[in-house]
Amino acid sequence: MSRLVLSKHFHLRAFGTGALTLLIALSVLCMMASVARAVSITYTSRAAFNAATINQQIITFNSDLAVGQTATPYPSGLTTGGVAFSTAGGPNPLYVIDTSHSGGVFFFNGGGGPYLNDNNYSAASTMTAILPANTRAVGAEIGLQTTAGITTFTSSIGLSTGENFQFTTLPVDPAFSFIGFVSDQNITSITFRAQGNGTNNGSGSYENFTIAGVPEPSTLALTSLAVAGLGALAFRTRRLRNAGS
């Protein structure tokens, strides 16, 4: 009888130690994930960006044009679709401009709908977007509204994660280029600066600004690890029970 009691205590002790070890390992993994440096994937294809994200919200700026206007100013910035846009580094306000606007060579006249424009023809000017909570992906068609004489521009983009990216030789108006980011951490803001590759400059523009979420591979990985660990623990416990019987 004493042998059976000792064996039961041994099994319980082994199970408790294994479970505690597993819990500690999971806690360490969670802490490592929370303090890890952000890693964002860059997309230059909207189709690939769409495939990597979920719950997209696309801001087309259609509702931000005043009735009867093809260009509407926003001196205090623009908040639309839960995103707050602002400009800095220049005296002029943001504008929402329709591609039907007849402003000459300064504008995107290729059709396709309204776009948000920085309206400051300075390389020092930036557009910042403050994003809603739990945004893990952000992207847009970006472009440079400029005068004749510039054929390409360089875009500098900074994320709230501390990452900075630069894209060179992007085409200017009337062309837009898609740039998107998917991060393993929440993105709370994005800052966009455009500089013409030439003697003149232009003003940065957004079209179809998109925010989204992403699937949670880290959560799935931790869950799989926990299940595997509990399975291994159960197997070890059965072996110990069989050995003690």
Is the same domain home to 11 and 81? no
Q: Residue type for 92, please?
A: N
State residue 215's pLDDT score: 86
Is the same domain home to 23 and 70? no
Is the same domain home to 191 and 140? yes
Is the same domain home to 230 and 112? no
Q: What is the mean pLDDT of the chain?
A: 81
Q: Residue type for 222, please?
A: L
Is the same domain home to 107 and 66? yes
Is the same domain home to 72 and 17? no
The pTM of this model reads 0.75
Q: Which two tokens stand for residue 26?
A: 């999971």
Calculate mean pLDDT across residues 140-156.
Answer: 89
Q: Domain containing 193: what range?
A: 38-214
Is the same domain home to 70 and 138? yes
Is the same domain home to 77 and 190? yes
The pLDDT of residue 135 is above 70: yes
Phi-psi category of residue 231: left, alpha or beta, with phi > 0 → left and psi -120 to 50 → alpha: alpha
Is the same domain home to 136 and 201? yes
| pLDDT higher at 63 or 27 | 63
Is the same domain home to 17 and 136? no
State residue 222's pLDDT score: 47
Does residue 93 have a cis bond before it (omega within 30 degrees)?
A: no
Is the same domain home to 114 and 209? yes
Under the banding of pLDDT at 50, 70 and 90, the label for residue 197 is confident
Calculate mean pLDDT across residues 58-65.
Answer: 96
Q: Which two tokens stand for residue 183?
A: 């991060």
The pLDDT of residue 76 is above 70: yes
Calculate mean pLDDT across residues 187-197.
Answer: 95
State residue 123's pLDDT score: 86
Calculate mean pLDDT across residues 125-140.
Answer: 97
Secondary structure of the chain in HEC code, one letter for each residue: CHHHHHHHHHHHHHHHHHHHHHHHHHHHHHHHHHHCCCCEEEECCHHHHHHHCEEEEEECCHHHCCCCCCEEEECCCEEECCEEEEEECCCCCEEEECCCCCCHHHCCCCCCCCEEECCCCCCCCEEEEECCCCCCEEEEEEEEEECCCCCEEEEEEEECCCCEEEEEEEECCCCCEEEEEEECCCCCEEEEEEEECCCCCEEEEEEEEEEEECCCHHHHHHHHHHHHHHHHHHHHHHHHHHHHC
Under the banding of pLDDT at 50, 70 and 90, the label for residue 112 is confident
The pLDDT of residue 103 is above 70: no
Calpha distance 85→209 (Å, rounded) = 11
Under the banding of pLDDT at 50, 70 and 90, the label for residue 66 is very high
Calpha distance 158→57 (Å, rounded) = 21
Q: Are 208 and 60 in contact (CB under 8 A)?
A: yes
State residue 199's pLDDT score: 72
Under the banding of pLDDT at 50, 70 and 90, the label for residue 104 is low
Calculate mean pLDDT across residues 212-234.
Answer: 60
Q: Residue type for 236, please?
A: R
State residue 146's pLDDT score: 85
Calpha distance 31→43 (Å, rounded) = 29
Calculate mean pLDDT across residues 198-209.
Answer: 88
State residue 150's pLDDT score: 85
Question: If we measure between CA atoms, which residue out of 204, 229, 219, 241 comes closest to residue 94?
Answer: 204
Is the same domain home to 114 and 206? yes
Calpha distance 103→221 (Å, rounded) = 53
Calculate mean pLDDT across residues 148-156.
Answer: 88
How many structural domains is the chain composed of? 2
Supply the CATH number for residue 111's domain: 2.60.120
Q: Residue type for 1, please?
A: M
pLDDT > 90: percent of the chain: 55
Under the banding of pLDDT at 50, 70 and 90, the label for residue 10 is very low
The pLDDT of residue 190 is above 90: yes
Calculate mean pLDDT across residues 16-20.
Answer: 56
| pLDDT higher at 13 or 47 | 47
